[in-house]
Amino acid sequence: MDTHCICEIRRIYRAIGAFEAELEKLLGLNINEAMLLCLLSEKKNLAAGNISAELGLTCSNASKVIASMEKSGLVLRKISKQDGRSMTFSLSKKGTALLDKVHCDSIQVPDELRRFVS
């Protein structure tokens, strides 16, 4: 039985875990929170459903990440004037400032992930 591909995926999965631990240590963010900041820096005023789809998270998980980031003051919620049930999310000044502090050369990227990062 050839298990090479499964073993390689296991190494990548462990490398992502190590990378997330580094993010937590340096920025106080888990990987989903960091991905949300990155996403909102590229695309402004996204609805929760779009965030969920873009990050590849369930709606429930995306909602938890958004709520955590709102509570930290890194993400802002804007309720639509036309439809009070509709809302979008964007980076706050604090979220933008945190992203401005991120320098990829200061974050330890495991060797297994380096080939995916330019």
Cβ proximity of 54 and 47 under 8 Å: no
* Residues spanned by the domain of 71: 4-114
Cβ proximity of 27 and 98 under 8 Å: yes
Q: Domain containing 73 — which CATH number? A: 1.10.10.10
Tell me the two tokens of residue 20. Answer: 């997330």
The 10s digit of each residue's pLDDT in 31-41 is 999 999 999 99
Cα 74–chain centre separation: 12
Cβ proximity of 37 and 69 under 8 Å: yes
The 10s digit of each residue's pLDDT in 35-81 is 999 999 999 899 999 999 999 999 999 999 999 999 999 999 998 77
Task: Specify the number of domains making up the chain.
Answer: 1
